[in-house]
């Protein structure tokens, strides 16, 4: 059994805020839910499935279902960090295909900026019951230095350079200049990325994503529901998920879980990487994008540095337009979890509703990919392929 | 030259499954889990072998020699430090810190040896330093 064509993305909404000191976390979840419902042309009482991850307050979906006063017959709170929301769309499509729900709401929200969280540079203690904690926390792994180790190894093994990584940020900034909500709208150069302060060798400050408050929501629905609505139709063709860790001490930092989730999604969709017209690629750091582009099959392993250079990711310029909203590197990384905004920009592209300066012409086939957790420790990976009908 | 200075190390919290590892460390040894069934080493230590899934009954005291698989110097910290994956000569890769070293002379493939640094609570924590 396949989910191909069994569900549609009928609503998508990105909260315009990037700093929300005057709002509660639950309120942000509610506001993005309302935005997605209005976008779809649905009401709250139409929702019969709810999906959220660890950013939602309370135990799994319980507090939010109660706060929103939903009456649902299907819930899922799978948490694989920033990739959770792509997995939620996949699981929603599965549930819809099986008749477990018809209209599924997925929400994400967070306030790390208002809360002053040192997202990337502070080690997080974690519960001592987590099996790896005592073997990792004493060494102070952070988000930044663990992704940095992936970059360091990639440079050693494949000759990737800091200037090549910088091109990823440059491309994102070219897109962000057109997004009035983007946190960073200034176009930057390779030289400016390389001149920004070193955070964790070899990653500079401008290799790192932004820290923002806000959130987003999407609605996944049965084909009959999609056909009854007035919005352009975005059909889900294929999904893939994976978890990659340290293999019991046989650590390999040269690839990500995208090497597994990607082929699964392409196989289900029945398309090839070369068919994809627009790609949302998780961009917690520049190295995240580079490794996923290789692992998803847009170029050969080790060729990512050459592939991303010279504007190849800039819409209207290069072969693979990516993150046309400015991505996590420039636009938004709400709750330190970028998967939701990856889906939303892919929906905009397929509807023809991206900013005209970055809209891919006749965009009919798009991919969204997320990584959650830490590329250098253990992470969840999810790939979603969608088609404009 | 950018010589490292020692930072404070938070104490690891052992549990019944891992107490042998930390007792060995307290005695200045690095003990790696060895499966009595398939013979493979693994890290971090588990009671059941993560490869053949039989009880991993053994521990092997390893040489403490290895090579840097990857590393990164964390510059945005009160005391900058080097995090690393070190692949032991016995084949297992561990997350660790590189200490008592010149940050600017670290490189992947470099040979390193085991050293210990005491945590806040006095527990010795295995680390590595270039040969």
Q: Measuring CA to CA, which residue among A215, A221, A220, A174 is closest to residue A193?
A: A174
Using the structure block, give the residue that is written with the tokens 């930044």.
Answer: A144
**What are the φ and ψ backbone dihedral angles of A279, each rounded to 5 degrees?**
-130, 125
Taking CB atoms and an 8 Å limit, are A250 and B93 in contact across chains? yes
A50: helix, coil or strand?
strand
Q: Are strands A8-14 and A103-110 parallel, antiparallel or unpaired?
A: unpaired
Read off the pLDDT band of B129 (50, 70, 90). Answer: very high
**Is a pLDDT exceeding 80 seen at residue B1?**
no
**Nearest-neighbour CA in chain B from A124: distance (Å):** 11
CA–CA min distance A174, chain B (Å)? 27
Inter-chain contact A248–B119, Cβ cutoff 8 Å?
no
Contact A132 B44 (CB under 8 A): yes
Q: Is A2 exposed, middle or buried (0-12, 13-18, 19+ CB in 10 A)?
A: middle
pLDDT tens string B71-84: 999 999 999 999 99
Q: What is the CA radius of gyration of chain A?
A: 19
Which residues of A are less than 8 Å from B41 in CB distance? 249
Are B75 and A135 an interchain contact pair (Cβ–Cβ within 8 Å)?
no
Q: Find the residue in A nearest to B125 (Cα).
A: A138
DSSP state, residue A249: G
Closest A-chain CA to B120: A138
Q: Is A152's CB within 8 Å of B108's CB?
A: yes
- Find the residue in B nearest to A254 (Cα): B70
Strand, helix or coil for residue A23: coil
Nearest beta carbon to residue B83 from set A133, A149, A203 = A149
Summarised one tens digit per residue, pLDDT across range A261-293 is: 999 999 999 999 999 999 999 999 999 999 999
With contacts defined as CB-CB under 8 Å, which chain A residues touch B48?
Answer: none
Task: Identify the pLDDT of residue A126.
Answer: 83
Residue A122 CB neighbour total at 10 angstroms: 14
Distance, CA of A262 to CA of A259 (rounded, Å): 6
CB-nearest to A139 from B69, B93, B96 is: B96
Q: Does residue A27 sit at the B interface (CB-CB below 8 Å)?
A: no
Contact A250 B11 (CB under 8 A): no
CB-based contact, A130 to chain B, within 8 Å: no
The alpha-carbon gap from B74 to the nearest alpha carbon of chain A, in Å, equals 4
Whether residue A361 is predicted with pLDDT greater than 90 in this model: the reply is yes
User: What is the per-residue pLDDT for B56?
Assistant: 82
Query: Closest Cα of chain B to A148: distance in Å?
Result: 6
Q: Which of A147-151, A384-388, B56-60 has the lowest mean pLDDT?
A: B56-60
Cα-Cα-Cα-Cα dihedral of A299, B108, B8, A116, to 10°?
A: -20
Enumerate the residues of chain A whose CB falls inside 8 A of the CB of residue B13. 128, 133-134
Interface of A with B in 37-96 (CB under 8 A): none
Task: Write phi, then psi, for A85 (nearest 5 degrees).
Answer: -75, -25
Query: Which chain B residues contact residue A131 at CB under 8 A?
Result: 44, 46
> Whole-angstrom Cα distance, residue A173 to residue A191?
14
Contact indicator for A262, A240 with CB cutoff of 8 Å: yes
Contact state of A249 with B93 under an 8 Å Cβ cutoff = yes
Mean pLDDT computed over A358-375: 98
How sure is the predictor about A120, in pLDDT bands with cuts at 50, 70 and 90?
A: confident
Residue B57 confidence class, pLDDT cut points 50, 70, 90: confident
Pairing of strands A8-14, A234-244: antiparallel
Cis upstream peptide for A202 (omega within 30°):
yes
Report CB contact under 8 Å: A145, B93: no
List pLDDT tens digits, range A243-262.
Answer: 999 999 999 999 999 999 99
A90-114, pLDDT tens digit by residue?
999 999 999 999 999 999 999 999 9
Segments of A184-254 assigned E as strands: 198-200, 203-204, 214-221, 234-244
Confidence of residue A1 (pLDDT cuts 50, 70, 90): confident
Residue A372: what pLDDT?
97
How many A/B residue pairs have CB atoms within 8 Å?
A: 112
Which residues of chain B form beta strands (DSSP E)? 31-34, 41-42, 58-61, 65-74, 81-88, 93-98, 111-118, 124-130
**Contact (CB<8Å) B44/A142:** no
Out of A145, A197, A251, name the one closest to residue B72 (CB).
A145
**What is the mean pLDDT of the segment spanning A39-65?**
98
User: What's the confidence (pLDDT) of residue A193?
Assistant: 98
Whether ipTM exceeds 0.90: yes
Is the pLDDT confidence value at A220 over 90?
yes
Q: What is the mean pLDDT of residues A58-67?
A: 97
- The answer to whether A134 faces chain B, any CB pair under 8 Å, is yes
Strands A103-110, B58-61: pairing kind: unpaired
Contacts of A251 in chain B (CB under 8 A): 69, 85, 87, 93
Per the CB < 8 Å rule, is B70 touching A201?
Answer: no
Average pLDDT of the residues in A356-383: 98
Task: Choose among B11, B73, B92: nearest Cβ to A200.
Answer: B73
Residues in chain A with CB shorter than 8 Å from the CB of B42 are 248-249
Mean pLDDT of A167-189: 98
Q: How far off is chain A from B82, nearest CA to CA, in Å?
A: 9
- Residues of B in Cβ contact (< 8 Å) with A128: 13, 15
What mean pLDDT is reported for chain A?
A: 97
């Amino acid at each position: 059994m396949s989910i191909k064509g069994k569900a549609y993305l009928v609503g998508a909404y990105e909260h315009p805020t990037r700093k929300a000191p005057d709002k509660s976390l639950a309120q942000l979840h509610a506001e993005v839910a309302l935005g997605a419902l209005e976008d779809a042309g649905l009401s709250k009482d139409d929702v019969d499935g709810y999906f959220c991850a660890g950013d939602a307050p309370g135990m799994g979906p319980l507090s939010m279902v109660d706060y929103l006063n939903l009456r649902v017959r299907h819930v899922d709170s799978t948490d694989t960090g920033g990739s959770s929301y792509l997995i939620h769309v996949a699981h929603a499509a599965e549930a819809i295909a099986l008749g477990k729900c018809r209209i599924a709401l997925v929400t994400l929200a967070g306030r790390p900026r208002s809360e002053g969280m040192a997202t990337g540079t502070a080690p997080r203690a974690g519960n001592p019951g987590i099996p790896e904690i005592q073997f990792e926390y004493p060494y102070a792994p952070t988000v930044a230095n663990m992704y940095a180790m992936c970059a360091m190894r990639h440079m050693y093994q494949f000759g990737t350079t800091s200037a090549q990584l910088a091109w990823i940020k440059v491309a994102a900034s070219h897109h962000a200049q057109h997004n009035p909500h983007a946190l960073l709208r200034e176009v930057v150069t390779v030289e400016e990325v390389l001149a920004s302060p070193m955070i964790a060798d070899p990653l500079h400050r401008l290799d790192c994503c932004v820290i923002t408050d806000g959130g987003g929501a999407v609605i996944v629905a049965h084909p009959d529901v999609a056909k009854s609505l007035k919005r352009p139709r975005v059909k889900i063709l294929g999904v893939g998920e994976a978890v990659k860790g340290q293999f019991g001490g046989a650590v390999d930092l040269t690839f990500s879980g995208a090497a597994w989730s990607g082929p699964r999604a392409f196989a289900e969709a029945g398309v090839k990487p070369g068919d994809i017209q627009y790609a949302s690629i998780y961009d917690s750091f520049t190295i995240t994008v580079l490794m996923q582009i290789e692992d998803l099959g847009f170029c050969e392993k080790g060729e990512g540095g050459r592939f991303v250079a010279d504007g190849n990711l800039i819409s209207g310029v290069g072969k693979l337009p990516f993150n046309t909203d400015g991505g996590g590197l420039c636009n938004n990384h709400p709750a330190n979890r970028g998967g939701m905004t990856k889906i939303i920009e892919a929906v905009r592209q397929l509807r023809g509703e991206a900013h005209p300066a970055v809209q891919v012409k006749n965009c009919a086939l798009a991919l969204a990919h997320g990584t959650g957790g830490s590329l250098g420790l253990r992470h969840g990976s999810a790939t979603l392929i969608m088609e404009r009908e | 030259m950018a010589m490292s200075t020692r930072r404070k190390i938070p104490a690891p919290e052992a549990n019944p499954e891992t107490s042998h590892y930390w007792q060995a460390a307290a005695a200045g040894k690095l003990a790696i889990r060895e499966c009595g069934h398939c013979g493979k080493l693994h890290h971090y230590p588990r009671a059941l072998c993560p490869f053949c899934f039989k009880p991993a009954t053994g521990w092997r005291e390893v040489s403490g020699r290895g090579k840097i698989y990857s590393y990164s110097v964390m510059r945005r910290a009160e005391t900058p430090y080097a995090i690393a994956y070190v692949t032991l000569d016995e084949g297992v890769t561990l997350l660790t810190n590189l200490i008592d070293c010149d940050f600017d002379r670290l490189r992947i493939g470099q040979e390193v040896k085991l050293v210990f640094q005491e945590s806040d609570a006095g527990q010795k924590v295995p680390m590595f330093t270039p040969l």
